[in-house]
Amino acid sequence: MLRCEAVGKRYGGGRWVLRDVNMDVAMGDVLAVVGSNGSGKSTLLRILVGLSQPTTGSVSGRPSRIGYVPDRFTGHDRISAIGYLTHMGRIRGLSGSAARARGHHLLERLSLVGGWEAPLRTLSKGKAQKVALAQALLVQPELLVLDEPWSGLDASAHGVLAEFIDEVAAQGGAVVFTDHREAITETHARGSYTISDGRVTSRGGRHAGSRTSMVELVLTVPPGVMPIAVNWSVLPGVTETAQRGGEVVLRVAREHSDAVLLTALQHRWSVASVAGTADERSCRADVRETAR
């Protein structure tokens, strides 16, 4: 786990941009950092990836494979997009042909129309942003850090970016991104932090609207069986418990729902229903998995 402890940052003798930042980024997390212009979002991301040193405090547990998309991507003068990706892939340990193939694949997914062979400096902001994103994904990152990644991307690439984020998290990597729009945060992140006056504050766990947020589990007593009592409220991820007739209704963070279901089945409860806020099909699949 990547951990910032009491991180403070000031440039030269200037004001403190960050103060006493404590932040954990666990594998599989998708976290947003939200703040107004100049609040220190980019500074925090640069510290997370190791490009900038904190003035005070420490960062530990940084993984070795990091993909980083800066807020401004300045391409080298003459090199083409595909040439740049091939070069970057080789630096990251791929063979030339593998790097080129991976670069091709990523640019195709991002629908970079034209410009593959054009000098990077001639690309529009949105096209350059796609190349920046592709370079961050040349090798599957353990930590993907994206500074305002949606800015400049066309609508078709928005969905692809969301897919990339999901893919990194699904493979156990962590994703941290910044944006100043709440809607983006709520759609794409599973947890978020705000920056204001140099302070970074957790806004709690998953958002109600996020694709993988909370799950409602309804447990019943099977006919002819006496279930074993469980103190549901102390189980990890359980945020609400209620009694409804003979049923127990639990609200559980998505990442803990499998464990809670397993506990229920082991204590002879029957699962009446599982409803995810959005990703309902996979929740139902989990019930089948667990019940086997």
Residues that bind ligand ATP (CB under 6 A): 11, 17, 35, 37-43, 71
Nearest distance in Å: CB 45, ligand ATP: 8
Residue 42 vs 257, nearer CB to ligand ATP: 42
Reading phi first (left if > 0) and then psi (alpha if -120 to 50, else beta), residue 179 is in beta
Residues 141 and 167 sit within 8 Å (Cβ to Cβ):
no
Residue 42 vs 277, nearer CB to ligand ATP: 42
Residue 117: count other Cβ atoms within 10 Å of its Cβ.
9
Residues 41 and 190 sit within 8 Å (Cβ to Cβ):
no
The rounded Cα 52 to chain-centroid distance in angstroms is 21
Nearest distance in Å: CB 38, ligand ATP: 4
Residue 41 vs 127, nearer CB to ligand ATP: 41
Residue 19 vs 102, nearer CB to ligand ATP: 19
Reading phi first (left if > 0) and then psi (alpha if -120 to 50, else beta), residue 71 is in alpha
Mark 180-210 as b/e (b = at least 16 C-beta within 10 Å). eeeebbbebbbbbbbbeebebeeeebbbeeb
Nearest distance in Å: CB 41, ligand ATP: 4
Nearest distance in Å: CB 35, ligand ATP: 5
Nearest distance in Å: CB 218, ligand ATP: 43
Residue 194 vs 270, nearer CB to ligand ATP: 194
Distance CA 106, CA 67 (A): 14
